[in-house]
A and B are shown apart, each in its own frame.
Chain A
Amino acid sequence: MQEKHRILKCDVLVIGSGGAGSFAAIAADDQGADVLIVDRGVLGKSGATVTAGHTCCSAQGPDDSPDLHFFDTVQGGYFVNNQKLVEVYTSEAPERIRELDAFGANFFRKEDGEFWLISPPGGHSRKRSVFYGYQTGPAFMRGFMAEIKRRDIRWQDNTIVTSLLTDGSRAIGATALDVQSGEFLVLEAKAVVLATGGYGQLWAPKTTTPVEAAGDVLAMAFDAGAELVDMEFVQFLPMQIGPKVKHLNPTIANFPGWREEIRKAARMVNSEGQEILYQYDRRGLYTTRDVRAMAIYNEVRHGKRVYLDLTQVPMEIIEEEFEESWPGSYLPLLRKENYSLTETPMEISVGAHYCMGGIRIDEHCRTSVPGLFAAGEVTGGVDGANRLGGNAITEIIVFGKRAGDSAAQYADTAAEARADAQAVGSEKATVLGLLEKSGDVSPISAKSKLQQIVWDDVCVLRTEQGLKRALVAIEELRGKTLAHLGLTSQTKAYNLEWIQAILLPRQLDVAEAVARAALARTESRGSQRRADYPEQDNENWVKNIILRKENGGMMLETHPAVITKLDPSEAISWKP
């Protein structure tokens, strides 16, 4: 018989402890709920929030308003954002930022005591970003951790969730594995909040996302009956890969402001010295970042290297630009590390940065499964086809709070959760059984294969042929690996092979969801670029693609985008 396992009970189970999860936990605690936070990494140091550099937007300035922020966000998302969600986001963002500041984030202020606001990267019509040097993410997490500690909220980290538990009609918790001890856990909850981030690791190592963004939780939610939306929209950014400079964030390749003197003298070239942007856009470096990403991708996938060459730009101008656009920024760091941007060209590549798609929610962060809520990058809908820089970090706290509020209210009247012993037993047998697998396929190399498939054919530039090839390859990988996994070590202590064996089937499902949605959208819009459908098709595609599990398969349907205030036909005439 199976050995006994530990059961942890709570009112609200929050899975993920980055910005969204932390705010959800604090909000639910505020409502008097008994909260348990679970995270697969180390509490306070896990997830994408901590990686944030500068930008964190909200309409705070005297010349700004939530309406302006709304229009910028919907325009930037190419009109397929869920406008109800964008309204919530832009109107609640200023207050959430002030709350987080008070928790202990301590954003930079001007001499008059007001927030010091800087310009976020392209697409925002106002200065609306608070910041804490180039360490805004760590400041965020310091604020959250101080508040979580103050409230003495319970947590259990180093713990991956392996499945969501339902009682047939609602979510009642999850099964989990403590990856340090190998202990199997059952988490019983009256309501569950998913705040586990995106699926950017599918493109690893070409990604700026943290290792926790494996995407498996999206497949888990899908399996439990939640819908996925906008899965095809994945944002890629130019990222710095060389020279290796300590503590330099790879997003520096999205150079601050790109003021004219810099853009005139800077060039993006391949290893053969050829300029690579003009063939796509006569504006060269003035082009949008999706075009830059595509140009870089096309070189890199053909084995060439790409450089951002600033050697013809006077250093004073770069320094001026940094001081003005990114105060407290990388300059001291670059000087300390003895790296001059104007002496050695910066080698760049392209990396998955943010997933606009995810679990479908309404404005109360409800999924289609009662008792199951979601917030942050794990959800889809706020950003449409493209996210503006500086929106992610604020979005996750706006919806994190809403998810925590909703979950606590739901839990207040929900019946006690009791996990079904049979479901738990079968999941436990599966998880522990993986440890004994002795086939000839390493789960870690199988994951690398999946990442290669996705990089080759479900990446920056997509085609019907490539996407179909990817779907076949994913199916093949599923068939060839899942039954033949083998681990070289049977230890229960931080066994990365075991962890990957648990994640792998879910990651295959998520990759399939992205490929299916990308194949169905026969147009190019924002981050979805189809070589075979290069035009944006407003006639047919101001729509969202929704995926739902039906009869064991992936059912795909399209819904018109949710429009409340800004109709796409107004886009051309509207100016902030």
Chain B
Amino acid sequence: METVTIKIRRHDPTVGEAPTLQEYTVPYQEGMRILDALLYIAEGIDPSLAYRYSCKIGNCKVCLMKANGKTVYSCQERLEPGMVLEPLTQFEEVRDLVCDLHKRAEV
């Protein structure tokens, strides 16, 4: 089975520990999106991962995150080997890939 390994920034600001980049390996399917990988990880590998989504069709825009530094919709963007996933930087972080979309981060 073809697999893909990606890295996800893990951080819980409610605990006083430094962020880490955690590696996950997921089965790969042609055309797979980032969100497909996140769902797989949460259901099969690590249910403690925090990520946000709603409509899965690119309309609601709550699944925005950074993939290799570029801002993307995780429900629409194709998954690539070695991808590094991080939360948006312009909003206050909540945990892992989730931000508070109402609160601008202090610069």
Contact = CB atoms under 8 A, between A and B. Distances in A.
Nearest to B101: A42
Given A488-B48, A494-B98, A45 B76 contact: no
A444 interface: yes
Contacts, number: 101
Nearest to A40: B54
A42 B13 CA distance: 20
A244 B31 contact: yes
Contact of A246 (B32, B58, B60, B101): B58
B55 A42 contact: no
B42 A444 contact: yes
A249 B31 CA distance: 15
Interface in B52-107: 52-62, 76-78, 94-96, 98, 100-102
B47 interface: yes
B76 A211 contact: no
Contacts of A561: none
B59 A138 contact: yes
B54 A46 contact: yes
A208 B57 CA distance: 9
A496 B33 contact: no
A244 B78 contact: yes
Contact of A250 (B12, B14, B15, B57): B57
B46 interface: yes
B26 interface: no
B4 interface: no
B50 A495 contact: yes
A8 interface: no
B59 A493 contact: no
Contacts of B61: 45
B23 interface: no
Interface string A484-503: 00011101111111000000
Contacts of B44: 445
A448 interface: yes
A41 B94 contact: no
B2 to A, nearest CB: 16
Contact of A46 (B47, B60, B78, B102): B60
Interface in B37-51: 39, 42-44, 46-51
Contacts of B78: 244
Interface centre among B44, B52, B54, B77 (most CB of A within 10 A): B54
Contacts of B58: 246-247
A491 B54 contact: no
Interface of A: 41-42, 45-47, 50-51, 135, 137-138, 157-158, 180, 205, 208, 210-212, 242-244, 246-250, 442-445, 448, 487-489, 491-497
Given A51-B55, A248-B57, A445-B44, 9 more contacts: A42-B101, A135-B59, A158-B100, A180-B94, A211-B56, A246-B76, A250-B57, A442-B47, A491-B95
